[in-house]
Amino acid sequence: MVETCLTARLGGSRFFISAMFIDTHSHIYGEEFKDERKEVVERAKAAGVERIILPDIDETTRSAMLELSEEYPGMMFPTIGLHPTSVNEDYKTELKKVEKALGEHRFYGIGECGIDLYWDKTYYKEQFHAFSYQLGLAKETNLPVIIHSRDSLNEIFKALKPYPYIKGVFHCFPGNAEEARRVIGDGFMLGIGGVVTFKNSPMAQVVQEVGIGSLLLETDSPYLTPVPHRGKRNESAYIPIIAQKIAELTQTDLKKVQEVTSQNAMNLFTL
Ligand SMILES: [Zn+2]
């Protein structure tokens, strides 16, 4: 556990520098947490995780996500989008709903969106179009995009080509070190989560090679729980475990990982 607040003295006056963790990807608004949400939030705070980005999935999750962000202003920050595994022949109607919601609430990013060819390739064309459309929304609104990519990095790169100035994060970065350097060069962040703690994790190798400068911490709760809690439901209180692993891999200290990743998150999502 790290201390969550540092006291500093500057120019004779005493003030607090907030040293906190930010979980940039949690579906804590989901059904999996319905009986224990308050406790999960309290455990996150106790672990120093004071801000949580809530990535949207589709219309079925949206109202729960918005309710939670209203309940915890200054802690929960919603984004808006259509997840690739929620894309089907009706995706145009769903995207209209996304656009409508964009005009009605404050959001901090577009997503999560992207292309997922791991579970099902049936709607590849639709997924590609839905992703491109959401990149257009990100450009229009000047919001960062949260990218979900599974077995689809080349397709993602192809979709990004017409949008060279988009900023965002590759959540649960799925590529190798060379691909990581490419997306960082294009101005993107890498979202690093529990996978980095797994044995022989390719993500660990990526972190070792690229360093902490362009990393964000994330859980993807309730999924991808870090070791030693693997197999259980994931939650934001495990963020320091991920940060500690990154500190070891990059031979730096936990506080540095905390500072750099939180600053990266605040800059990207304008928190
Ligand atoms: Zn997610």
The C-alpha atoms of residue 80 and residue 183 are separated, in whole angstroms, by 22
Query: What is d(CA 141, CA 105) in angstroms, rounded to the nearest whole number?
Result: 13
Say whether pLDDT at 1 is over 70: no
Confidence of residue 9 (pLDDT cuts 50, 70, 90): very low
pLDDT of 120 higher than 60 = yes
> Measured in angstroms, how far is the CA atom of residue 16 from the centroid of ligand 1?
33
pLDDT at position 14 is 41
pLDDT averaged over every residue in the chain: 93
Contacts of 22 (CB under 8 A, 6+ apart): 49, 50, 51, 52, 53, 216, 217, 261, 262, 265, 266, 271
132-178 residue pLDDT tens = 999 999 999 999 999 999 999 999 999 999 999 999 999 999 999 99
The pair of structure tokens assigned to 90 is: 């009706």
CA of residue 256 to ligand 1 center, whole Å: 26
What confidence tier does 19 reach under pLDDT thresholds 50, 70, 90? Answer: confident
What would the pLDDT profile of 132-143 be if each residue is shown by its tens digit?
999 999 999 999
pLDDT category at 49 given cuts 50, 70, 90 is: very high
C-alpha 269 to ligand 1 mean position (Å): 16
Distance in Å, CA 202 to ligand 1 centroid: 19
pLDDT digit string, tens, across residues 189-241: 999 999 999 999 999 999 999 999 999 999 999 999 999 999 999 999 999 99
**Could you tell me the distance, in angstroms and rounded to a whole number, from the CA of residue 127 to the centre of ligand 1?**
16
**178 C-alpha vs ligand 1 centroid, how far in Å?**
24
Q: Decide if 4 contacts 48 (C-beta within 8 A).
A: yes
196-227 CB burial, b ≥16 within 10 A, e <16: bbeeebebbebbeebebebbbbbbbbbebbbe
Ligand 1 mean position to 7 CA, how many Å? 35
What strand order describes the sheet that includes 76-78? 21-23, 49-54, 76-78
